Amino acid sequence: MPEPAPRNVPELFLERVGKTPDAEAFRHPEGGGWRSLTWAETESRIRAVSSGLRALGVSSEQVCAILSSTRIEWVLADFGILFAGGATSTIYPSSTPEECAFILSDSGAVVAFVENEEQVAKLASRRSELPALRHLVTFDGRRSPDGWVLTFAELEEQGRAWDRAHPGLFEEAAADVRPNALATLIYTSGTTGRPKGVELTHAAWLAQSKAVQDSGILGHPEPVQFFWLPLAHVFGKMIGTTQLRVGFPTAVDGRVEKIVENLGQVRPTFVCAVPRIFEKVYAKVMASAREGGPAKAAVFRWALDVGRERARLARAGRRPGPLLAAQHALADRLVLSKVRGLFGGRLRFFISGSAPLSKDIAEVFDAMGVVILEGYGLTESSAGTHVNLPWARKIGTVGPALAGIGVKIAEDGEILMRGPWIMRGYRGLPEQTAEALDADGWLHTGDVGFVDADGFLSITDRKKDLIKTSGGKYVAPTELESKLKALSPWVGQSLVHGDRRNYVSALVTLDPEAIARWASANGLAGRSLAELARAPEVRALVQKDFDALNATLPRFATVKRFTILPRELSEAEGEVTPSQKLKRKEIERRYRAELDAMYREPPV
C-alpha cells in the first residue's frame, strides 16, 4: 500500500529524509571551505530549532520572522518554524528599522531570527513598539543580559533538551499542521505604497513543488544548485520546497562578492538568478572584448555571430551544416567556452526570474552556449507559475504555465491567473485582497501580455507603468529600458518617462565599472562618477546608444532627450526595491526638476 501523500511542508521534508537520509542536502561555507549536511543531519538540526521554538512557547500559525542574508541558518530557521507549527515572515537585511518594525508589528511576530549585532540593534531601537515580540535569536550576535536576545546555538541546545523531555512531539507537531494553515507571510517590497503581507499556505507550496517536479525541468542527472539570492524573496522560498521534492543538493552562500569564486568551487548544474546579474556579466564580457584590441574584438564578434547562427538553428530544431559546425568548433575553442568556464563548467542552465530579462541579452548568452530559462510569477502566486524548459523554450517569453495554473488575458490585456498556489489573501487587508482576487478566484497580476499559439506567455509591461503620451500613443517603458541595456555597456539603470507628455525622455545612470574602464583609456582617468556624468565625451558616448535604440522604434516611441544622473539609483535611497526593481513614482518625484527640464523647449 503506497504511503499517504504529504499534507504540509514538514511532512514533505520528512518524506525526503526517509527516501535519501544519507544523501547530501546542503553545502555551506565553513572555515575557508565547504561543509556538507546530509538530509538526516539537516533533520537533526531542524528538530533542535523547532523544539527550541516550542520551548519558547511558539504555537500553531504564530509568526516568526527572519532578518538575515542568505545562509544555512536561514534555511534551518525557516524549516524549524514550520515544524513548530508556526509561519515564517521574511525581512530583507537592508531594511530600515522603521520597515522592520512595520513588518514585525503587522505580522504579530513572536520571535525574530536576526543575523548579527547590527540587525539586533535595529530591532532593539523599536522594542517598545513591538510588545508581541518575545525573543530575538541571533546567528552571529551575543546573548543579552535580560535574555531577550538568545544565540542560535543556545536555541538549538534548549531544543535538544526539550525534545528529549517530550519524545514524539516533533513528529506529532508536523502531523498536526493543516494543509490550509499559513506557512509563509512575505511582504511585497512595494514599488508603490506600503508593503502588503502576502499569505501563502502549506498546500500552496506542496502543489507548486509537485508541478515543478512534474515539469521535468530538474530531471537531468545529478543536479546540483548554487543558491545566493535573498531567501527573503519568494523566488528563494519556491526553490526550497522544490528541493524537497527532487532531492538535489544546494550550496548556500548569499555573499554577492563570492559568486564567481563559488561557481568555480561548487560547479553547479543550475543556478537561479535575476536579470541584473546577466546584465553585469554581459557588460563585463563585452568590455573585455573591446579592451583586448581590434584583433581580439574582431575575433569575439565573429565567434558571437557564429554562436548566434548555431543557436538560432538549434532553437528551430535544425542541425548546422558542415561549414557552420566547423566554424562553431573553432569559435567555441577560442571564445565561447571561456565564457562558460566562468560558471564552473557543468552548468546546464540558469533560471531567471523576478524582473524582465532583455531578449537581446538572452540571445547573446544563448550564442555563447549559456542557456537562460526565463520564468514568471508574483509573490501573490508563490513565485513561479510559468517557466521555459530546456527542451521547450522561446527567448523573449516566460514560457508555458506549469500544470495546474489557469491563465487568461483580460480585455485590456491584463494577465489573470488561477490555481492552487495563488495566495489566500493580503494579511488584514480584505479590500485590497478583493481588488487582487476576484470572486471567481482569478488573480489580477497587473502585468500586460499575451499567450501565443503554443501556450508561451509574453509580458509586455506593467499595466500601471504603460506610458500614454499627450498624442494618445502607448509606450511600454520596460521594453525600451530592456533594449537600451542590451545596446549600451555604459548605461547601468534607466527609467523611460513620458506619461501625458508630448514625447518620451529618459533618466539613466552609468555603469561604474564599465565607464571607469572607458575613462581610463580615454584621458578621463580618476574622475568621479558624478564628474563623468557631466562630461560631454560621456554624453556623446551614451547618445550613440540612444541613436541605435531609436533606430529600432516607431517615431512616437523614440527617446528624444535623456539626462545622466550623477549616481546609481539605490535601495538605500528608497529608489529601487530589494530585488532591484525601479520605484518609478519615487524616482520621478525625486527627479522632477530634471524631468521637467527636458520638456521646457521642443526637441531639435
pLDDT tens-digit map of 522-561: 999 999 999 999 999 999 999 999 999 999 888 888 999 9
Rounded distance between C-alpha atoms, residue 223 and residue 348, angstroms? 9
> Quick one: which of 490, 500, 502, 519 has its CA closest to 556?
502
Q: Is the pLDDT of residue 128 over 60?
A: yes
Query: Tens digits of per-residue pLDDT, 432-480?
Result: 999 999 999 999 998 889 999 999 999 987 777 777 776 677 788 888 8
311, part of any domain? yes
Same domain, 416 and 541: no
Map residue 576 onto helix, strand or coil: strand
The verdict on 497 and 582 lying in the same domain is yes
Q: Which of 231, 247, 269 is the last residue of a domain?
A: 269
Same domain, 386 and 454: yes
Residue 209 within any structural domain of the chain: no
Whole-Å CA distances, 131 to 54, 110, 111, 114, 200:
19, 9, 11, 17, 25
- Over residues 377-393, the mean pLDDT reads 94
User: What angle (nearest 5°) sits at the alpha carbon of residue 572, between those of residues 571 and 576?
Assistant: 20
Q: Are residues 228 and 316 in the same domain?
A: no
259 and 299 belong to one structural domain: no
The average pLDDT across 227-231 equals 93
For 437-449, what is each residue's pLDDT tens digit?
999 999 999 888 9
For the chain, what is the domain count?
3
Stated as kind and residue range, the H or E segment containing 491 is: strand 491-497
Q: For 114-133, what is the mean pLDDT?
A: 94
Give the pLDDT confidence score for residue 292 in this predicted structure.
77
Question: Which amino acid does the sequence have at 285?
Answer: V
Q: 266 or 571: whose pLDDT is higher?
A: 266
Q: Is residue 81 part of a domain?
A: yes
* Whether pTM exceeds 0.85: no
Alpha helices in 197-353 (DSSP H): 202-215, 234-246, 259-266, 275-291, 294-315, 322-331, 337-341
- pLDDT digits 0-9 by tens, 347-361: 999 999 877 888 888
In a domain, 70, yes or no: yes
Count of positions (residues) in the chain: 604
Task: Report which of 346, 329, 157 is spatially closest to residue 270, judged by C-alpha positions.
Answer: 346
Tell me which H or E stretch contains 561.
strand 559-564
CATH code of the domain containing 538: 3.30.300.30
Query: What pLDDT, in 10s, does the model give residues 245-299?
Result: 999 999 999 998 899 899 999 999 999 998 878 888 888 888 888 877 888 889 9
3-state secondary structure of 551: coil
Comparing C-alpha atoms, which of 427, 412, 508 is closest to residue 464? 412
Region 101-126 average pLDDT = 95
DSSP code for 437: B
Asked whether residue 414 falls in the same domain as residue 498, the answer is no
Domain holding 60, by residue range, is 9-177+216-269
Give yes or no: residues 258 and 309 share one domain. no
Name which of 499, 466, 523, 498 is nearest 598 in CA terms.
Answer: 498
